[in-house]
Amino acid sequence: MTDQHFDYDLFVVGAGSGGVRAARIAAGHGARVAVAEEHKVGGTCVIRGCVPKKLLVYGAHFAEDLDDAAMFGWDIPERRFDWPTLRDNVLAEVSRLEGLYGETLANHKVTVFKTRAVLTGPNSLSLADGRTITAGKILLAPGARPALPDVPGIEHAITSNDVFHLERLPKRVVIAGGGYIANEFAGIFHQLGAHVTIVNRSDTILRGYDEQIVDRLVKISVAKGIDFRFNAGFEALEQQEDGSILCRMRGTQDIVADEVLFAIGRLPNTEELGLDRLGVKLTERGAIVVDKEYRSSVPSIFAVGDVTDRVQLTPVAIREGHAFADTQFGGHPCVVDYDNIPSSCFSHPPIGLVGLTESQAKNKLGVIRTYTSDFRPMKYVLAGRNERALYKLVVDEGSDRVVGVHLIGPDAPEILQGAAIAVKAGLTKADFDATVALHPTMAEELVLMR
């Protein structure tokens, strides 16, 4: 496999989830591997995405937990939230993980170049210091970045990258977009005491999610005080003398905020990589077009993860990187199965889902059945919190297979992972019914819906 004509067998651009997994698995198969990373080892998920976001979600949730504690007998006379403490502890954890990712690469004898790499040929790259490196195969895993619209004053806005470094917690936050990031940060900022306004261009949020579940999130969010502006857009952002930002709006009233967060999707990082010169085919959105084996239109160049703009989820990028390395360096070709990928929005309350929504199932399968459980979690009853969870099963009438599970409520993502196994395994509603409930839990609702 080793071709001594080249400096390395594999050169990976980007040390995020997909790149690190591909590098270490290929190295484990005996390949000589190098990685270039211009920022931090770990990529979006570890450095400025899933991990620090989840820690902020945990931090923010204490606000409700402390409220609810009183009915459980806890007397907490004084509570004060200190943003720098949470922020700095989260950043310290990110640094620890960055170190572990670096160690993993070092332990697998992967060379890490802490610099930008640009492709100069089908088997060559140049590093920022002028060095040229050659490799038998090149894997592009540079990820994606937040999209920003062409709006006057957009330089006053922030993206999810910036939230983890805010000097102080804003009192008023406007969030553009109605997807994963918008709803997750809406929950975080709201719990931490800010007034949050979500602005979306359409009349819904979380497009592609089950409508009943989305409706429940909107209702709970509105009841909590989050403001929604639908069918609305931004004309301009103007910084005012007191430092606040005046959002000049289209389709709704103007809004004044301390921070304006744009979360309107993420664009593949394919610029200035030298791809145009090499004729690497891109989609209209700038994503690298790949085949089943992650090979681009140039046979020695491959791509995995967000840069291919298919399923922008960490576990998918990891599987793609692993499959690439096994196929190209391990001698056992494998492909990733993209069916029934579970996902979650870590909103307050969170959502977990796998499989088809009710309307997708109707379109695809024709006759279906749905089952719902609309309940108030036990701990909320005692706490006096008037917030209901909603669980929904979508079942194919012909086969009785459960083809979709949609949950909103406390710990929904934790509960969903187990249900995702059942959906992936093709289990039927009768299998769910035959499973004895685990009492008292919220998850037992999954096997009690009739």
Which residues sit at the interface with ligand NDP, rule CB under 6 A? 149, 177-182, 184, 200-202, 204, 207, 263-266, 312-313, 343-346
The residue whose two tokens read 């190209």 is: 328
In angstroms, give the least distance from the CB of 316 to ligand NDP.
9
The residue (of 153 and 265) whose beta carbon lies closer to ligand NDP is 265
Structure-token pair, residue 382: 């005692």
**Rounded Cα gap, residues 388 and 408, in angstroms:** 9
Inter-axis angle of helices 314-329 and 17-28, to 10 degrees? Answer: 30
Q: In sequence order, which residues have a C-beta less than 8 Å from that of residue 253 and are 6 or more positions away?
A: none
Inter-axis angle of helices 211-224 and 358-365, to 10 degrees? Answer: 170
The residue (of 124 and 312) whose beta carbon lies closer to ligand NDP is 312
Helix (H) or strand (E) holding 393: strand 389-396
**Which letter does DSSP use for residue 170 in this model?**
-
The residue (of 26 and 56) whose beta carbon lies closer to ligand NDP is 56
CB 159 within 8 A of CB 182: no
In angstroms, give the least distance from the CB of 14 to ligand NDP.
16
In angstroms, give the least distance from the CB of 252 to ligand NDP.
13
**Which letter does DSSP use for residue 45 in this model?**
I
In angstroms, give the least distance from the CB of 379 to ligand NDP.
24
Residue 439 designated active-site: yes
Residue number closest to ligand NDP, CB atom? 179
**Rounded Cα gap, residues 63 and 188, in angstroms:** 10
**Rounded Cα gap, residues 15 and 142, in angstroms:** 8
Q: Which of 28, 1, 223 is nearest to 108 (CA)?
A: 28
The residue (of 140 and 316) whose beta carbon lies closer to ligand NDP is 316
Identified catalytic residue from 39, 332, 348, 439? 439
In angstroms, give the least distance from the CB of 305 to ligand NDP.
11
In angstroms, give the least distance from the CB of 20 to ligand NDP.
18
The residue (of 161 and 441) whose beta carbon lies closer to ligand NDP is 161
Would the CA dihedral through 374, 431, 209, 321 be positive or negative? Answer: positive
> Which of helix, strand or coil describes residue 137?
strand
The residue (of 25 and 198) whose beta carbon lies closer to ligand NDP is 198
Q: Which residues are catalytic?
A: 439
